[in-house]
Amino acid sequence: MQVRINKLHPISMFKTFRIIALTQVFTLCMALLPITQAHAASDPLRTADGAVVTRGDFIRGAVQVLNISTNDEKTVLPYMRVASALTPFVIAAHKKGALKVFGDDLLLAQGITRGDALFVVAKLGGFRSMQTKTDYTDVPSGSDLENAVAMAIENNWMAPVRDNIFGARRMLIGKDANLLLRKVRGDDVPTFEPQTEDMIESAPKIRYNIQTQPRASTPLPKSQILEALWELINKEYLYEDRIDPDNAAYAAAEAIMKTLDDPYTTFMRPVTSRNFQSQIRGEISGIGAQVEQKDGYLTIVAPITGSPAEDAGLLPGDRVLEVDGVDLVPLGFLDAVEHVRGKRGSTAKLLIWRNGSELTVNVKRDTISVPEIIITWNGNVAIVKLVQFGRLTETELRGQVAAINTKGAKGLILDLRNNPGGLLDAASVVMSNFVPKGTSVARILSRLVTRTEKTTEDPTLDASVPMVVLINGGSASASEIVAGSLQDAKRAIILGQRSFGKGTVQQVIQFNDQSAFKMTIAEWLTPDGRKINGDGVHPDIEILEGDRDEQLSRALELLR
């Protein structure tokens, strides 16, 4: 769950606990979620005001605003991965020399910076500045960018963020992009108002909905030293073109997160933040594996059912040491994940550490549709396999279990093996099928509050129908909540292998420049107070996995 804020809006803890995705094992994929927002009919772009504009959308908008012909169908583009819908606009911009700022791979889905946007506009329109020099430390002297920036200042198309810094490397957001393109088009629009630090600071804040005494704000440690360093760098550092305010700020944020020594608490730059989407809904693209940073290694939690990762034989507990020859061990978690991801149809060559030895596994990246609920029957025993705890589980499972009850099932097997978890609400819905209304699901502990999650609906399966729950090392987070809760309630026999041991809750907060902050905010225990984080759920009957599905066979024996 991502929470959009200006600067930093505190979020109600109670609301956050209800909606946050408990699964923080990262999926090697990318899901795109739509952002909807009303726009004026005159806006060249339909990007949300606070969202980062992609390169592709800006190129298309700029070409249309400047009325550049897009009828050339013969030019062969030298770039990779250009969507057919964008091809006419890319051809038009390429012929004007407006794309050389992006290099050989346009990466049209990535965000565009303020400086790159001005470069594109200047080249497309053939605009030249009357000035020969600017005084901004982030704009190289004598460059095409300097001309574009000077041209923007002369025409009041864009304003600097500070006296000596233009903000060329900052990401361009929808509101500013539309204002820029409308000015280029000649519309009568207000004076450009950049989002400077002062404006962001004055944005309204949402207050905590917790009845506690307000805490004094905690000042940034050694802030005077940091401010002095930055001032000296801007005044006296020899290589001015290397001064990158955004990169410096992001690097500082990343460094603060590293001091916490918590793999689940990270700062994400805009590009990484946009890629940080779980597979809670929709299609995903990648190798189809849930991964986690464990003991310093990128570790497979579970391959998604039917995914390339499963087809290639990747197993829970596999450590990914290298991908395509790149050593992942020294990299941070998110950087390592980005290296494993790639273009659909390409092959990831993974060096895997398994049971004390190395092996190479080739996985073809693809688009995967993730099912959530798979129901089969073995005689009069229903087998309900949950692939993840997402929206379908939350909205459809109760009806399907009720249908199983109507058919007179004599037993039910809940298969949570290799299920990496998902939404807390979905876990509560799953539990509600099998236990009385008001039964405890989990105890959630944070610095500010401790509360108990309980079921809110009547069960759909008759209490006389016996149950077995299957778990293994790939069962994590919400899967462990359900298994542990059913075990505490003595409603089901837990069979298989010890679960993964993911018992903390993370909250994702997104800033207005599209960077984000993922932070551990709570830990959950089973209703009886058993710790899960690092320990996992221990089965009542332990059966190791083998070539045959001995776990399922034993479960069927118990229910007959």
CATH of the domain at 534: 3.90.226.10
What is the pLDDT at residue 260? 93
Determine the length of the chain.
560
Higher-pLDDT residue of 37, 57: 57
Residue where a domain stops, chosen among 167, 200, 233: 200
Lowest mean pLDDT among 2-11, 130-139, 343-352, 441-450: 2-11
Query: Within this chain, do residues 520 and 539 fall inside the same structural domain, yes or no?
Result: yes
What is the percentage of the chain residues whose pLDDT exceeds 70? 83
What does the alpha-carbon distance between residue 64 and residue 66 come to, in Å, rounded to a whole number? Answer: 5
Residue where a domain stops, chosen among 200, 223, 250: 200
Query: Within this chain, do residues 406 and 471 fall inside the same structural domain, yes or no?
Result: yes
User: Is 477 designated active site?
Assistant: yes
Q: Is residue 21 domain-resident?
A: no
Mean of the pLDDT values across residues 251-256? 91
Q: Is residue 250 domain-resident?
A: no
Q: Is residue 439 domain-resident?
A: yes
User: Is 222 designated active site?
Assistant: no
Lowest mean pLDDT among 106-110, 145-149, 520-524: 106-110
Residue where a domain stops, chosen among 369, 392, 426: 369
Residue 509 · residue 11 · CB < 8 Å: yes
What is the pLDDT at residue 400? 96
Query: Within this chain, do residues 315 and 458 fall inside the same structural domain, yes or no?
Result: no
Predicted TM-score (pTM) of this structure: 0.53
- Cα 23 versus chain centre, distance: 11
Higher-pLDDT residue of 488, 331: 488
Mean of the pLDDT values across residues 285-308? 81
Dihedral sign for Cα atoms in the order 138, 144, 145, 151:
positive
Nearest to 193 by CA among 180, 206, 207: 180
Q: Is residue 362 domain-resident?
A: yes
Query: Within this chain, do residues 316 and 407 fall inside the same structural domain, yes or no?
Result: no
For residue 335, what is the enclosing H or E element? helix 333-340
Query: Within this chain, do residues 346 and 466 fall inside the same structural domain, yes or no?
Result: no
What does the alpha-carbon distance between residue 72 and residue 15 come to, in Å, rounded to a whole number? Answer: 53
Q: Compute the CA torsion angle 16, 278, 402, 471 (nearest 10 deg).
A: -100
Query: Within this chain, do residues 350 and 411 fall inside the same structural domain, yes or no?
Result: no
Q: Is residue 233 domain-resident?
A: no
pLDDT band for 404, please (50, 70, 90 cuts): very high
Q: Is residue 19 domain-resident?
A: no
Per the DSSP assignment, residues forming a β-bridge with 508 are: 2, 518
Query: Within this chain, do residues 347 and 474 fall inside the same structural domain, yes or no?
Result: no
What does the alpha-carbon distance between residue 372 and residue 236 come to, in Å, rounded to a whole number? Answer: 58
Which of the following is catalytic: 477, 485, 499, 515?
477
What is the pLDDT at residue 401? 97
User: Is 502 designated active site?
Assistant: yes
Query: Within this chain, do residues 392 and 466 fall inside the same structural domain, yes or no?
Result: yes
Per-residue pLDDT reduced to its tens digit, 505-524: 887 787 777 788 888 889 99
Mean pLDDT of the chain: 81
Which of the following is catalytic: 138, 176, 366, 488?
488
Nearest to 79 by CA among 99, 58, 57: 99
Query: Within this chain, do residues 460 and 528 fall inside the same structural domain, yes or no?
Result: yes
**Count of structural domains within the chain:** 3
Query: Within this chain, do residues 46 and 145 fall inside the same structural domain, yes or no?
Result: yes
Q: Is residue 20 domain-resident?
A: no
Higher-pLDDT residue of 99, 505: 99
Which of the following is catalytic: 123, 294, 502, 518?
502
What CATH code is carried by the domain that includes residue 315? 2.30.42.10
Q: Is residue 359 domain-resident?
A: yes
Lowest mean pLDDT among 18-32, 389-403, 441-455, 459-473: 18-32
Query: Within this chain, do residues 114 and 172 fall inside the same structural domain, yes or no?
Result: yes
In 186-261, where does DSSP find H-type helix? 197-201, 223-236, 245-258
Domain containing residue 106: 37-200
What is the pLDDT at residue 92? 92
Query: Within this chain, do residues 332 and 402 fall inside the same structural domain, yes or no?
Result: no
